[in-house]
Structure 1
């Protein structure tokens, strides 16, 4: 999959406002607007944290296995001057601890650099959000027949 640049998911409606999301590898999650389901905005926050967390984890864990690794992503849902909803003030906070000793020291020292590397060039999700990418929304013609 790494050689193919195309990424995709498919959403299928299960009931009003609830959808099952699937990927080509067979993974599924449900999203919705209430209950225990994640909302689309929460999935955006999870994608930001997951991308940055994975980058930082892969880089720092080469030096030492973390004792704890928590990523918290926050933002404010606002209505902008044009009357549209969007997220603002997005923040990804990494709270990572490493064991005492040389390996832990090396991982602690690398942590801020790994976070910058993720932000500046590695994390596809945060770079896409930050740089802004046009989104085309279209409807498909109904099936023939």
Structure 2
């Protein structure tokens, strides 16, 4: 499977859900990435994802380096812990190929791991979870509503 740039909506959904559902989320952000501003954290996540893509593909892949945070109230309201857990897993998978991903100084890697730990405490079941990306989640949601 090839790596791709995770969408702004995907990252926004992670941040919005965690901000609404994870106790102490803003303090966690401050302790790991030194800011609680969701726009700044999202940009840091995009930057890390792009560093990975450039590591893998050099400059052969078009990327959009600009992050724009958008609230994702539908995901926060209807998304389950297993959905956001899988969004985090997808983000990590798309960003983890560089050796630097696993270094202790990588703030985004540490943040993703910490968020997975927090969200995992809320999981009731993850078997058969069909969410991999925000786009997959929205497609499934539209099918459920129809």
TM over 0.5: no
**Which one has the bigger helix percentage?**
2
Which protein has the larger Cα radius of gyration, Structure 1 or Structure 2?
A: 1
Select the structure with the greater relative contact order (CA < 8 A; seq sep ≥ 6).
2
